């Protein structure tokens, strides 16, 4: 099964779940975003729970994800609550369909750790291009210290594919820093959730 079909299936099978804002969205909002306003891009937004959280906090939000099932459920939630956000089916490994310096904030929760090194580098360049100067890029990815690191077939350094076909690229602090040329890193921290995942959480400001 190709990666995209895995995500379509996961989103279909979890209909009605994952509709609450995540701990990461609340953490970054209260620590870095509560005095900010403007345009926010949620990369690989899934069913949009975090996008809706930021919308409710006053941001003008666009969410993109390549799963049409996720965006369908996101749109149904918007209809139910009578709200309107931009939500599009889009593969984030392709050129982002936005002008230079469009966004004040770019956010991604577990959305940028699926791609090989070259694609990840290109994606980070695109993120920098569409972010305004002094704009914030806030993201959470799986860490190299995650319990699942090393499971499955090795694709590249720190990147593995499991039997189902699901691919993960685990980030070290050094790797994240190397991708963030042209940014001031305001926070880079590992967060270990006992018995569950270990994440790397990063907040960076474009120079």
Q: Which of 28, 33, 40, 44 binds ligand SAM (CB under 6 A)?
A: 44
CA distance 103 to 90: 17
In the complex, the smallest distance separating the C-beta of residue 109 from ligand SAM, rounded to whole angstroms, is 4
Q: What is the DSSP letter of 109?
A: E
Contact 1, 165 (CB under 8 A): yes
| 45 is an interface residue for ligand SAM by CB under 6 A | yes
| 127 is an interface residue for ligand SAM by CB under 6 A | no
Site string for ligand SAM, 143-182 (x = CB under 6 A): ----------------------------------------
C-beta of 22 vs 172, nearer to ligand SAM: 22
Give the residues across from 199 on adjacent strands: 142, 191
| 65 is an interface residue for ligand SAM by CB under 6 A | yes
Our CA dihedral for 171, 89, 64, 119, rounded to 10 degrees, sits at 30
Q: What is the DSSP letter of 204?
A: E
3-state SS assignment for residue 145: coil
Residues in touch with ligand SAM (CB under 6 A) = 7, 18, 22, 44-46, 49-50, 65-67, 70, 91-93, 109-111, 114
């Amino acid at each position: 099964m190709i990666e995209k079909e895995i995500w379509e299936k996961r989103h279909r099978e979890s209909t009605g779940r994952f509709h609450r804002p995540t701990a990461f969205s609340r953490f970054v909002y209260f620590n870095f975003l509560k005095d900010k306003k403007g345009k926010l891009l949620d990369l690989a937004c899934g069913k949009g729970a975090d996008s809706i959280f930021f919308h409710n906090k006053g941001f003008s939000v666009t969410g993109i994800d390549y799963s049409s099932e996720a965006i369908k459920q996101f749109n149904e939630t918007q209809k139910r609550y009578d709200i309107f956000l931009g939500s599009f089916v889009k593969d984030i490994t392709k050129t982002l369909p936005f002008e230079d310096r469009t966004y004040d904030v770019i956010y991604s929760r577990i959305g940028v750790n699926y791609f090989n090194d070259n694609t990840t580098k290109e994606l980070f360049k695109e993120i920098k291009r569409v972010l305004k100067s002094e704009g914030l890029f806030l993201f959470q990815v799986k860490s190299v210290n995650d319990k699942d690191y090393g499971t499955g077939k090795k694709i590249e350094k720190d990147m593995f594919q499991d039997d189902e076909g699901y691919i993960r690229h685990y980030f070290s602090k050094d790797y994240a820093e190397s991708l963030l040329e042209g940014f001031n890193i305001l926070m880079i921290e590992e967060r270990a959730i006992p018995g569950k995942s270990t994440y790397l959480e990063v907040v960076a400001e474009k120079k």
